Structure 1
């Protein structure tokens, strides 16, 4: 399991809370940008 998958799993469990969903969305965008630099 990658850190991205773990993050997605955590975010899905908090999806009912709108603020956390927005936070996870912005976090994921940042993570995708960083992962492109690594791979």
Structure 2
């Protein structure tokens, strides 16, 4: 049970990091694109 809960939390953490990284990449791309204009 503990292992299952731990893996569940790990998945949530990975999802949060994936979303954070996507937002970071999107913002970086937008800033780069604007700076190139």
Q: TM-score, normalised by structure 2?
A: 0.55
Q: CA RMSD in A?
A: 0.7
Instruction: State the alpha-carbon separation in 2 of the partners of residues 19 and 33 from structure 1.
Output: 21
Of 13, 32, 35, the residue aligned with 2:18 is 32
Q: TM-score, normalised by structure 1?
A: 0.52
CA offset at residue 38 of structure 1?
1.6
Residue-pair matches, total:
23
Question: Over alpha carbons, which structure has the higher Rg?
Answer: 2
Q: Deviations over 1:4-30 (max 9, x none)?
A: xxxxxxxxxxxx811100000011111
Unaligned runs of at least 5 residues, structure 2? 26-37
